[in-house]
Amino acid sequence: MKKLLLLPLIVLCFLPELKSQNWIELDIPSGVYPNALDFINLNEGWVIDDYSLMHTNDGGLTWNLQEVPTEYLMNSVCFISETHGWIAADNGSVYHTTDGGGTWELQQTSTPYPLKKIIFIDELHGWTIGFGPGIVGTFFYTIDGGQNWLSTECPCLFNDLDFYSATQGWMVCDNGQTYSTYDGGETIEALNLNNNFTLKNIDFVNDGIGWRVGENNLLQQTLNGGLGWYDEVSPLDVFVLDGLSFSSSTVGAVSGYSSIAVTIDGGDSWSVTQIPNSFIRDVEMIDEFSGYATTVNGVIKYCGIGILTQPESTVVTEGSPVQLNAQSTLFGASYQWQAFILGEWVNLQDNSAYNGTNNNVLSIAAAYGNMTFRCVISFQGCSVTTNEVTVQTTVGVDEAPSLYLSIFPNPAMENLTVEIPNELIGENVIIYDVAGREIYRSTTTNTINLINVAELSSGSYFLRVGDLSVKVVK
């Protein structure tokens, strides 16, 4: 990837941009307007707004409102496990839970000013930043899980912070400066880098690789722990890049007003999603397949479901079997094959006509006429749909089966006569609709069998006796 050292002359290398709509809106309780979130894995996370707290353990499919620990505005939430978490609020208040948010205890700092960000890396080591008098910010750290918060003189108003270990962390400022600490926050040092734009967010994945974003659509990366920064080309057309989250050196997301972008190759390419008239406040990528973000009115979820194999259209001899294939890039994804019937998509079910309707390979026992199929692939509440394919049949003239079915009249109005060879006497005669649902069954007793079809709706059906099938029109 092309990266340019910060010099007075900046050369821009434009990267490919992939338009996409991989983010879906989750249903959340009414009246909640999220401003921060934290997920400890794909399924379990917490979301807050000024006065509300909610929790999910199924990837956002369902949410439970939890008791709010404070009357002050809540600004940031951080959990390190299913049980241990902290909330930073106004009035210099920190709240701690050891039961997943069921109950909270107050951990007061020495400031009366709002705390706007809190992070922990284990049960003991945590940090929080906030506002101070005038343009001065506040910085606190703890080495005992928040029972005691120690203050360090803050050189500026910190907008964000990130820690890789109990000792090493970074902070960014309104004045465009980046600071670091190598002793857990006891001392804070400027990295002395020249930058004229406000920095809004910073994120590191190890002690060397990190990113920072800010005003003027600024997106930069470091490979040496923040000692030097390289310009990246922002995938978004915004004035301020505000949201930032990388789960690894290759997988990350950035956001600004009305748009969010995801990369899975370290920024060489981006998948961009537009969310009109919505400020994306907080972003957290879990892995290349999942992530979460807050908007003005809700929570959105990233669905990185890829399709490895698409089904293909095919032409076969009438009555021949067919297989359609679809494969997701995700292990554990679920499949639902559908057919387009009477102007709508209908879920197929396993029966004598179809097999594998909930697997990546759909087997069609015998094809008649022209039918259109597709597969819906789902994972953790997200879904993608394969391309639509047509199975087209032609009448074979060179082959004559040794066993045959003869039906008449076809189309049939009231009674259908089915003539079968002696070898099939005693077999079941079954009629399916085009979705593969069984609607009639009986047992053959003679070579000539009469079936009353008067109550069937007009349309196409499949009749099967033993291994032989034929198309019936009503």
* Fold: same for 307-394 and 406-473: yes
Average pLDDT over residues 109-114: 95
pLDDT at 147: 96
Number of helices followed by number of strands (H, E) in the chain? 0, 47
> What does the alpha-carbon distance between residue 129 and residue 10 come to, in Å, rounded to a whole number?
33
pLDDT at 168: 97
* pLDDT at position 131 over 80: yes
**175-232 pLDDT tens trace:** 899 999 999 999 999 997 778 899 999 999 999 999 999 999 999 999 999 999 999 9
Among 434, 311, 445, which Cα is nearest to 375's? 311
Residue type, position 119, single letter = I
Q: Return the minimum-mean-pLDDT range out of 31-45, 91-105, 451-465.
A: 451-465
Average pLDDT over residues 40-67: 95
pLDDT at 402: 55
| Banded pLDDT at 422 (limits 50, 70, 90) | confident
> What does the alpha-carbon distance between residue 28 and residue 22 come to, in Å, rounded to a whole number?
19
Which SS3 state, helix, strand or coil, does residue 422 take? helix
Does domain 406-473 sit in CATH 3.40.50.10310? no
- Do the beta carbons of residue 297 and residue 33 sit within 8 Å? yes
CATH top-level class of 4-303: mainly beta
**341-390 pLDDT tens trace:** 878 899 999 988 899 999 999 999 888 878 899 999 988 778 889 999 99
CATH top-level class of 307-394: mainly beta
pLDDT at 467: 78
- 147-185 burial code (b ≥16 CB/10 A, e <16): eebeebebbbbbbbbbbbebebbbbbbbebbbbbbeebb
Among 359, 349, 344, which Cα is nearest to 311's? 359
* pLDDT at position 24 over 50: yes
Other C-beta atoms lying within 10 Å of the C-beta of residue 296: 13
- Do the beta carbons of residue 75 and residue 86 sit within 8 Å? no
* pLDDT at position 5 over 50: no
Percent of the chain with pLDDT over 70: 94
**390-420 pLDDT tens trace:** 999 886 544 444 567 888 888 888 888 898 8
How do the domains of the chain map onto residue ranges? 4-303, 307-394, 406-473
| Banded pLDDT at 22 (limits 50, 70, 90) | confident
Mean pLDDT of the chain: 89
| Reported pTM | 0.73
pLDDT at 21: 55
* pLDDT at position 427 over 70: yes
